[in-house]
């Protein structure tokens, strides 16, 4: 997919400082997420880490960027403002106001005002990638680990060289680590789909017919071999467990999530029920960003949340920003079955990348509109 347009300034003093800071923060939160040596009993929340990294981002932006109030950004910030305002109203009405949560929302809003330089995006992606080995410290598989790796892997495609050799050296290690740290069907499906799209982009877009034929032949042959050798295992892993009771069960297929979603939908309110919106026994949340938003904050915030996601996806629909659109798509798909939003004890680097991509896509579209305006009219 298209890459982030930024000069290679990886070896400057600025790059070293910010990549180090981001790497350390991402590494600590990854260790916290996997509950290494029961660390979650010592630290009650990741919010302070989110505040620290947003503070580092704001320091960088204050020194290296400027605030923009273009018509496009005003429209998006108005929509974002309504969304944040609805969250605040929900927290007040449901008596579950959390000041760290409010502070994070205000800091993210401040980030969205700035024209984000491409090199900041690169620093964050590199820091997130370097922090991934911390996930190997876990002694059991975890869905959250897999989702984090897949989203960071997707972000890393933005700075990868657009060649098959580079992709092989990038995909093989990450796919191996993914299989070691998770058995999440969502993470595995998303990874394979994203890897296929990236390879298809490299080999089918503006390439010689011979290369296209080779790619199609290899993919078709490889797919056939995998089905012949591992078809039964794959079917059992992804579908078979849902048929053990004698018939297909959505609840079994979604690993007991369907009943939770039905309960949240049945209890829906305009402004939600607060953080303890449901008395979960086996799962800590609804494992769905939309149902969790519905249960926690209510119908109004959910509608505005969907509009925000729709807006950033729409803004990313250019041939130069397909990589960012792919990240948003992966975030939404994983979010349909996992939880990777703001204020749970899991996920961190993917959320920071999500917000920085939102600010960067606004900057990119502003630059594109400015260039179009400078073109002489016919």
Give the angle 101-150-298 at the CA atoms, nearest 5°. 35
Residue 172 pLDDT? 92
Q: What are phi and psi of 20, to 5 degrees?
A: -65, -45
With beta carbons less than 8 A apart as the criterion, state whether 1 and 327 touch.
Answer: no
Instruction: Tokens 């800590």: give the residue.
Output: 284
Residue with the bigger pLDDT between 179 and 235: it is 179
Q: Confidence band (pLDDT; 50, 70, 90) for 264?
A: confident
With beta carbons less than 8 A apart as the criterion, state whether 353 and 155 touch.
Answer: yes
Residue 34 pLDDT? 84
What is the SS3 assignment for 338? Answer: coil
Run of H or E including 304 = helix 299-315
With beta carbons less than 8 A apart as the criterion, state whether 325 and 316 touch.
Answer: yes
Give tens-digit pLDDT for 117-148. 999 999 999 999 999 999 999 888 888 899 99
Q: How far is CA 136 from the centre of its chain?
A: 20
Neighbouring-strand partners of residue 67: 114
Tokens of 42: 């010592």
What is the SS3 assignment for 286? Answer: coil
Is residue 176's pLDDT more than 90? yes
Is residue 377's pLDDT more than 80? no
With beta carbons less than 8 A apart as the criterion, state whether 25 and 53 touch.
Answer: yes
Instruction: Output b/e per residue, 241-261; b: 16+ Cβ within 10 A.
Output: ebeeeeeeeeeebbbebeebb
- DSSP code for 205: T
């Amino acid at each position: 997919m298209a890459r982030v347009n930024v000069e290679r300034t990886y070896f400057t003093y600025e790059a070293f400082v910010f990549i180090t800071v981001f790497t350390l923060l991402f590494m600590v939160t990854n260790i916290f997420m996997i509950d290494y040596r029961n660390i979650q009993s010592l630290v009650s929340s990741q919010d302070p880490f989110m505040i620290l990294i947003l503070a580092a981002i704001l320091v960088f932006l204050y020194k290296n960027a400027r605030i923009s109030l273009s018509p496009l950004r005003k429209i998006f910030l108005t929509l974002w403002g309504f969304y944040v305002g609805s969250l605040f109203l929900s927290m007040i009405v449901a008596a579950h106001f959390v000041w760290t949560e409010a502070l994070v929302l205000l800091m993210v809003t401040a980030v969205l005002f700035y024209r984000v330089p491409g090199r900041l995006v690169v620093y964050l992606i590199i820091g997130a990638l370097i922090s991934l080995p911390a996930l190997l410290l876990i002694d059991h598989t975890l869905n959250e680990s897999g989702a984090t790796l897949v989203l960071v892997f997707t972000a890393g495609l933005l700075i990868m060289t657009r060649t098959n050799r580079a992709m092989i050296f990038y995909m093989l290690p990450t796919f191996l680590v993914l299989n070691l740290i998770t058995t999440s069907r969502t993470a595995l499906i998303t990874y394979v789909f994203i890897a296929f799209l990236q390879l298809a982009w490299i080999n089918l877009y503006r390439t010689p017919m011979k290369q296209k034929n080779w790619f199609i032949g290899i993919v078709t042959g490889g797919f056939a071999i995998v089905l012949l050798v591992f078809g039964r295992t794959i079917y059992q892993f992804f579908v078979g467990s849902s048929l053990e009771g004698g018939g297909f069960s959505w609840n079994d297929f979604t690993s007991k999530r369907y009943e939770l979603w039905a309960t949240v939908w049945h209890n829906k309110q305009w402004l939600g029920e607060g953080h303890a919106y449901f008395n979960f026994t086996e799962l800590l949340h609804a494992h769905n960003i939309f149902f969790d938003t519905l249960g926690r904050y209510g119908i109004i915030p959910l509608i505005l949340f969907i509009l925000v996601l729709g807006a950033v996806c729409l803004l990313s629909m250019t041939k130069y920003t397909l990589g960012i659109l792919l990240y948003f798509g992966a975030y939404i798909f994983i979010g349909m079955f996992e939880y990777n939003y703001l204020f749970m004890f899991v996920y961190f680097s993917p959320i920071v990348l999500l917000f920085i991509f939102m600010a960067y896509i606004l900057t990119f579209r502003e630059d594109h509109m400015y260039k179009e305006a400078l073109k002489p009219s016919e």
